[in-house]
Structure 1
Protein backbone atom coordinates (compact mmCIF):
# COMPACT_ATOMS: atom_id res chain seq x y z
CA UNK A 1 0.00 0.00 0.00
CA UNK A 2 1.13 3.53 -0.72
CA UNK A 3 1.82 6.10 1.93
CA UNK A 4 0.01 9.42 1.63
CA UNK A 5 2.36 12.02 0.17
CA UNK A 6 2.22 15.76 0.52
CA UNK A 7 0.16 15.94 -2.69
CA UNK A 8 -2.59 13.77 -1.14
CA UNK A 9 -3.18 16.14 1.78
CA UNK A 10 -5.51 19.10 1.31
CA UNK A 11 -4.32 22.59 2.17
CA UNK A 12 -6.99 23.01 4.84
CA UNK A 13 -5.89 19.77 6.55
CA UNK A 14 -2.24 20.85 6.35
CA UNK A 15 -3.05 24.24 7.94
CA UNK A 16 -5.03 22.53 10.70
CA UNK A 17 -2.15 20.12 11.27
CA UNK A 18 0.25 23.08 11.39
CA UNK A 19 -1.88 24.66 14.11
CA UNK A 20 -1.99 21.51 16.24
CA UNK A 21 1.46 19.98 15.75
CA UNK A 22 4.82 21.41 16.65
CA UNK A 23 6.64 23.34 13.94
CA UNK A 24 5.30 25.27 10.97
CA UNK A 25 4.62 23.66 7.60
CA UNK A 26 4.53 25.37 4.21
CA UNK A 27 0.73 25.74 3.80
CA UNK A 28 0.39 27.16 7.32
CA UNK A 29 3.11 29.74 6.63
CA UNK A 30 1.41 30.67 3.35
CA UNK A 31 -1.91 31.15 5.17
CA UNK A 32 -0.17 33.34 7.77
CA UNK A 33 1.42 35.47 5.02
CA UNK A 34 -2.01 36.01 3.43
CA UNK A 35 -3.49 36.95 6.81
CA UNK A 36 -0.69 39.46 7.46
CA UNK A 37 -1.20 40.91 3.98
CA UNK A 38 -4.92 41.38 4.62
CA UNK A 39 -4.16 42.90 8.03
CA UNK A 40 -1.81 45.38 6.34
CA UNK A 41 -4.49 46.31 3.79
CA UNK A 42 -7.08 46.87 6.53
CA UNK A 43 -4.72 48.91 8.69
CA UNK A 44 -3.62 51.00 5.70
CA UNK A 45 -7.25 51.76 4.86
CA UNK A 46 -7.91 52.65 8.49
CA UNK A 47 -4.84 54.87 8.57
CA UNK A 48 -5.92 56.72 5.42
CA UNK A 49 -9.40 57.24 6.87
CA UNK A 50 -7.93 58.60 10.10
CA UNK A 51 -5.70 61.06 8.20
CA UNK A 52 -8.53 62.18 5.93
CA UNK A 53 -10.74 62.95 8.94
CA UNK A 54 -7.89 65.01 10.47
CA UNK A 55 -8.04 62.98 13.68
CA UNK A 56 -4.34 62.69 14.43
CA UNK A 57 -4.79 60.92 17.77
CA UNK A 58 -6.51 57.98 16.09
CA UNK A 59 -4.00 58.12 13.24
CA UNK A 60 -1.18 57.83 15.78
CA UNK A 61 -2.82 54.81 17.37
CA UNK A 62 -3.35 53.14 13.98
CA UNK A 63 0.24 53.92 13.02
CA UNK A 64 1.33 52.18 16.22
CA UNK A 65 -0.76 49.13 15.21
CA UNK A 66 0.89 49.13 11.78
CA UNK A 67 4.34 49.18 13.41
CA UNK A 68 3.41 46.35 15.80
CA UNK A 69 1.99 44.21 12.98
CA UNK A 70 4.97 44.74 10.69
CA UNK A 71 7.45 44.01 13.49
CA UNK A 72 5.58 40.80 14.31
CA UNK A 73 5.80 39.72 10.67
CA UNK A 74 9.52 40.56 10.48
CA UNK A 75 10.25 38.66 13.69
CA UNK A 76 8.28 35.62 12.51
CA UNK A 77 10.21 35.64 9.23
CA UNK A 78 13.50 35.76 11.12
CA UNK A 79 12.46 32.98 13.48
CA UNK A 80 11.39 30.70 10.63
CA UNK A 81 14.59 31.48 8.74
CA UNK A 82 16.55 30.16 11.72
CA UNK A 83 14.40 27.14 12.56
CA UNK A 84 13.11 26.18 9.11
CA UNK A 85 9.82 24.67 8.02
CA UNK A 86 8.60 21.20 8.95
CA UNK A 87 7.11 18.82 6.40
CA UNK A 88 3.46 17.83 6.69
CA UNK A 89 4.43 14.15 6.79
CA UNK A 90 6.69 14.75 9.78
CA UNK A 91 3.85 16.50 11.62
CA UNK A 92 1.48 13.66 10.77
CA UNK A 93 4.01 11.12 12.03
CA UNK A 94 4.45 13.09 15.25
CA UNK A 95 0.71 13.12 15.87
CA UNK A 96 0.35 9.43 14.99
CA UNK A 97 -1.83 10.00 11.94
CA UNK A 98 0.49 8.33 9.44
CA UNK A 99 0.06 4.61 8.75
CA UNK A 100 3.17 2.72 9.73
CA UNK A 101 2.27 -0.40 7.76
CA UNK A 102 5.79 -0.78 6.40
CA UNK A 103 7.22 -0.79 9.93
CA UNK A 104 4.68 -3.37 11.11
CA UNK A 105 5.53 -5.71 8.23
CA UNK A 106 9.24 -5.42 9.04
CA UNK A 107 8.58 -6.29 12.68
CA UNK A 108 6.58 -9.40 11.74
CA UNK A 109 9.33 -10.81 9.50
Structure 2
Protein backbone atom coordinates (compact mmCIF):
# COMPACT_ATOMS: atom_id res chain seq x y z
CA UNK A 1 0.00 0.00 0.00
CA UNK A 2 1.14 3.52 -0.70
CA UNK A 3 1.91 5.73 2.26
CA UNK A 4 -0.23 8.83 2.73
CA UNK A 5 1.20 12.22 3.65
CA UNK A 6 -0.11 15.49 5.04
CA UNK A 7 -0.72 16.62 1.45
CA UNK A 8 -3.66 14.20 1.42
CA UNK A 9 -5.30 16.09 4.31
CA UNK A 10 -7.48 19.02 3.28
CA UNK A 11 -6.81 22.47 4.68
CA UNK A 12 -10.12 22.61 6.52
CA UNK A 13 -9.43 19.24 8.16
CA UNK A 14 -5.93 20.41 9.14
CA UNK A 15 -7.40 23.56 10.73
CA UNK A 16 -9.91 21.42 12.64
CA UNK A 17 -7.10 19.14 13.81
CA UNK A 18 -5.16 22.22 14.91
CA UNK A 19 -8.13 23.35 17.00
CA UNK A 20 -8.61 19.96 18.67
CA UNK A 21 -5.04 18.94 19.45
CA UNK A 22 -2.07 20.61 21.07
CA UNK A 23 0.22 22.79 18.99
CA UNK A 24 -0.37 24.80 15.84
CA UNK A 25 0.05 23.38 12.36
CA UNK A 26 0.86 25.29 9.18
CA UNK A 27 -2.66 25.52 7.72
CA UNK A 28 -4.07 26.73 11.03
CA UNK A 29 -1.45 29.48 11.26
CA UNK A 30 -2.16 30.49 7.66
CA UNK A 31 -5.89 30.72 8.44
CA UNK A 32 -5.11 32.85 11.51
CA UNK A 33 -2.97 35.21 9.43
CA UNK A 34 -5.84 35.63 6.95
CA UNK A 35 -8.24 36.35 9.82
CA UNK A 36 -5.86 38.97 11.23
CA UNK A 37 -5.52 40.54 7.77
CA UNK A 38 -9.30 40.80 7.46
CA UNK A 39 -9.49 42.18 10.99
CA UNK A 40 -6.94 44.83 10.06
CA UNK A 41 -8.92 45.77 6.97
CA UNK A 42 -12.15 46.10 8.92
CA UNK A 43 -10.46 48.14 11.66
CA UNK A 44 -8.94 50.42 9.01
CA UNK A 45 -12.41 50.95 7.55
CA UNK A 46 -13.75 51.66 11.05
CA UNK A 47 -10.95 54.16 11.64
CA UNK A 48 -11.74 55.95 8.37
CA UNK A 49 -15.41 56.15 9.35
CA UNK A 50 -14.48 57.30 12.85
CA UNK A 51 -12.46 60.20 11.43
CA UNK A 52 -15.49 61.22 9.39
CA UNK A 53 -17.71 61.31 12.48
CA UNK A 54 -17.83 64.29 14.82
CA UNK A 55 -17.21 62.26 17.99
CA UNK A 56 -13.54 62.17 19.03
CA UNK A 57 -14.12 59.32 21.51
CA UNK A 58 -14.88 56.90 18.68
CA UNK A 59 -11.47 57.52 17.11
CA UNK A 60 -9.80 56.76 20.44
CA UNK A 61 -11.75 53.54 20.86
CA UNK A 62 -10.92 52.33 17.35
CA UNK A 63 -7.24 53.18 17.86
CA UNK A 64 -7.31 51.16 21.08
CA UNK A 65 -8.80 48.19 19.19
CA UNK A 66 -6.08 48.49 16.55
CA UNK A 67 -3.36 48.52 19.23
CA UNK A 68 -4.88 45.50 21.00
CA UNK A 69 -5.12 43.46 17.78
CA UNK A 70 -1.58 44.44 16.75
CA UNK A 71 -0.14 43.42 20.12
CA UNK A 72 -2.04 40.12 19.96
CA UNK A 73 -0.62 39.37 16.51
CA UNK A 74 2.93 40.22 17.61
CA UNK A 75 2.60 38.04 20.71
CA UNK A 76 1.26 35.11 18.68
CA UNK A 77 4.15 35.47 16.23
CA UNK A 78 6.75 35.50 18.99
CA UNK A 79 5.11 32.55 20.75
CA UNK A 80 5.14 30.46 17.57
CA UNK A 81 8.72 31.50 16.87
CA UNK A 82 9.70 30.07 20.25
CA UNK A 83 7.60 26.90 20.14
CA UNK A 84 7.50 26.12 16.42
CA UNK A 85 4.81 24.55 14.31
CA UNK A 86 3.58 20.99 14.72
CA UNK A 87 3.08 18.68 11.75
CA UNK A 88 -0.41 17.53 10.83
CA UNK A 89 0.70 13.90 11.09
CA UNK A 90 1.80 14.40 14.69
CA UNK A 91 -1.55 15.97 15.56
CA UNK A 92 -3.42 13.10 13.89
CA UNK A 93 -1.25 10.65 15.79
CA UNK A 94 -2.05 12.43 19.06
CA UNK A 95 -5.78 12.22 18.40
CA UNK A 96 -5.56 8.58 17.28
CA UNK A 97 -6.59 9.29 13.68
CA UNK A 98 -4.82 7.60 10.78
CA UNK A 99 -5.04 8.54 7.12
CA UNK A 100 -5.55 4.90 6.10
CA UNK A 101 -8.63 4.55 8.33
CA UNK A 102 -10.02 7.82 7.03
CA UNK A 103 -9.57 6.73 3.41
CA UNK A 104 -11.25 3.37 4.11
CA UNK A 105 -14.21 5.16 5.69
CA UNK A 106 -14.74 7.23 2.53
CA UNK A 107 -14.73 4.13 0.31
CA UNK A 108 -17.59 2.44 2.18
After TM superposition, the score normalised by the length of structure 1 is 0.88
1:34 to 2:61 alignment: no
List gaps (5 residues or longer) in structure 1.
Answer: 101-109
Match of 1:105 in 2: none
Change in 2 beyond 3 A, CA 1:57/1:94? same
Match of 1:62 in 2: 62
Change in 2 beyond 3 A, CA 1:55/1:95? same
Match of 1:51 in 2: 51
List gaps (5 residues or longer) in structure 2.
Answer: 101-108
Deviation at 1:54, TM superposition (A): 2.7
Q: What is the number of equivalent residue pairs in this alignment? A: 101
What CA RMSD, in Å, does the superposition of the two structures yield over aligned residues? Answer: 1.6
After TM superposition, the score normalised by the length of structure 2 is 0.88
